[in-house]
Each structure stands twice: as structure tokens, then as C-alpha cells.
Amino acid sequence: MVAREPGTTPFQIDLRRHLRENEEDRDLTRVICEIATASRYVIHSIRTGELGVAGTSNLYGEEQLALDVLSDRILRKRLVHSGVVSSIASEESSEILSVNLTGKYAVVYDPLDGSSLVDVNLAVGTIVGIYRGEDILQRGRNLVAALYILYGPRCTLVYSTGNGVHEFAMNALMEYTLVQENIRMKPSGTIYSPGGQRNKYTPGVEKLVQALEAKGSKLRYSGGFVPDINQILIKGQGLFLYPHLQDKPEGKLRLLYELNPMAFLIEQAGGAASNGRERILDIDPKAIDHREPVFIGSKEDVAMAEKFVQEFG
């Protein structure tokens, strides 16, 4: 980290300045700042309450788009116009979009994760992974940057370019200013977020949950991947799982759009992420919709999950 003038307070440091101080590549800075700008429009759409049920009209008789479709368009437009993006894959689309042959970065994103929570006014988010080059189907360990934006009571952005994990909050001018730098996770946690139906858990996962309960871990689950991971990261401890289920051995969450960016961020903060048998960032993606089970958070809790899964399935 750069030494700053004495008296500089975090809220004086905006996202662009932070990236500049870290001497990030100009084009990478551009990509991250374009995404940050796009999120202003996404949060505006969420807050104005036009929930957007696809195919319906709004107050003015205009056709409305579902919020996830709208968020996808907003992000795509900014990334395409940035001039520095080679290809794009969005969770909302079934195809990879080739954008610019000379672009330096390939971007994968989930524009509005947890969109089923919008109508009940719970927090949702955008998740982004950035690779050098144009190949979208890369292992997560090749990521050069990852970030997420959490649309909660506050709008926050958490990013890493491989030099620690940093949190920003959107101010009244809709600019992101620094909240904290170099977030670190404790090796063991006292909260857990279990996705999926418990009566579909395999013996290994059931034993894991019992062991977490026995060590006093408290249940903290919102049903949104971004707020659930954000809670674990910002509290600096805990375990999120969306495991393999008896009728869904691949789990639910997508490797490209959800798991790799979050695994990158959690590892950068000193945590771990596994599918129970293998590090998430080492998994070779087979397709853009590749799904994997996940155990992510404090290192010792992830190791405990691996032990139970490997021993009992």
C-alpha cells in the first residue's frame, strides 16, 4: 500500500484513486471503474421500485424489463463501450460475447445475483471476475481481479486485484469511497450460512452442520450469495456452504459467475474455498454454466468440511 499524506481519511480516497495508488494497469482500472459506474444505474433501478416483471408495462406505459435483464444490459453496454474488453460472459446469457479483438480483458459476471429476493426487499448483488486475454473458460486461479457490489441498505463494493481485499461504500454523490483496506479473515468462525435443503444433505454435509452447531456456530443465512459472503468476509469469519445434494450432486452455484470471483476474494483475505474435494480456483470449467458445490470461508472451517465430505460423502 502507498504511504498517504498524514490526515488523509478513508472517505477522501475514491475507487479510482485507490486503483491508481496501487499502480494498477490503466485498462484494468477502466474496467473496474466502468462496472462501478454501471452499478449506479442498477441501484437506481432497484431503489425506484420499478421491480420489472418482464413483459409488463410501467406507469408510463413503457415495456418493463426484469431487473436482472436490465442490469445485464447496463453492465454489458458499459463494458462494450470501454474499448478494453475482449469478451464477455454473463449469467443472463447462454453465449460468450466477443467484443473487441484488441481488448485486454475478458469479463465474466452475474449482473443481479439473488434476483428472487428483489420482491421481498432483501439484499442482492453483482459479481464480477476479470481475466487477462480473451479466454472466458479459465481456471479461477488465473483471475487478475474480482469484485462484487452489494445493493443493501448501503451500496458497497469490494474488490481485489491480488493485493488484498478492499471495501468501498457509495456516498451521496454516488461515488465509491474507501471504508477499509486489506480485510483479513480469522482461521475459524462462529457463524455459518447453509444453502440448499437440509433433508437433501448427504451424510458428510449433515455431519459438518452438526459439528458446526456443536462448536457453537450460529445460523446466518439470507438466501443471497452476495450478502451472505459479504457477511462472512466483513465479519472476518464463518462458513458459507451450498453443498452437493442427494438429488443435485453438482450443487447450485455457478463456477464462472459466482464461485470463482468469491473464492478469489475470500482467499485474498486469508480464507479458503473448496468443493469438498478440490480448491475451487483449481477446477477446470467445462462450460459457462458449470456448477459446483461450495464450502467457503474461514480456513479451518473449510478444512473441516473437506474432512467430512471426503470421509462420509
Please state the residue numbers annotated as binding site for substrate: 113-116, 221, 252
- 201 by DSSP, 3-state: which? strand
Q: How far is the CB of 18 from ligand FDP (least distance, A)?
A: 27
Pick between residue 22 and residue 93 the one whose CB is nearest to ligand FDP: 93
Asked if 253 interacts with ligand FDP (CB under 6 A), we say yes
Q: How far is the CB of 211 from ligand FDP (least distance, A)?
A: 22
The residues, ordered by sequence, that sit 6+ positions from 48 with a Cβ below 8 Å of its Cβ are none
Pick from 218, 215, 224: nearest CA to 300: 215
Burial class (CB in 10 A: 0-12, 13-18, 19+), 152: middle
Residue type, 233: L
Distance of alpha carbon 267 from alpha carbon 164, whole angstroms: 9
Pick between residue 34 and residue 228 the one whose CB is nearest to ligand FDP: 228
Stretch that binds ligand FDP, among 11-19, 110-118, 135-143, 205-213 (CB under 6 A): 110-118
Pick between residue 117 and residue 158 the one whose CB is nearest to ligand FDP: 117
Distance of alpha carbon 153 from alpha carbon 123, whole angstroms: 8
Asked if 195 interacts with ligand FDP (CB under 6 A), we say yes
Indicate which single residue of 17, 235, 252, 279 sits in contact with ligand FDP (rule: CB under 6 A). Answer: 252
Strand partners, 295: 241, 274
Asked if 148 interacts with ligand FDP (CB under 6 A), we say no
Starting at the edge strand found earlier in the chain, the sheet holding 272-274 runs 218-219, 191-194, 239-242, 294-297, 272-274
Pick between residue 134 and residue 301 the one whose CB is nearest to ligand FDP: 301
Q: How far is the CB of 133 from ligand FDP (least distance, A)?
A: 26
Pick between residue 120 and residue 214 the one whose CB is nearest to ligand FDP: 120
Query: Which residues bind to ligand FDP, rule: CB under 6 A?
Result: 113-117, 195-196, 223-225, 252-253, 258
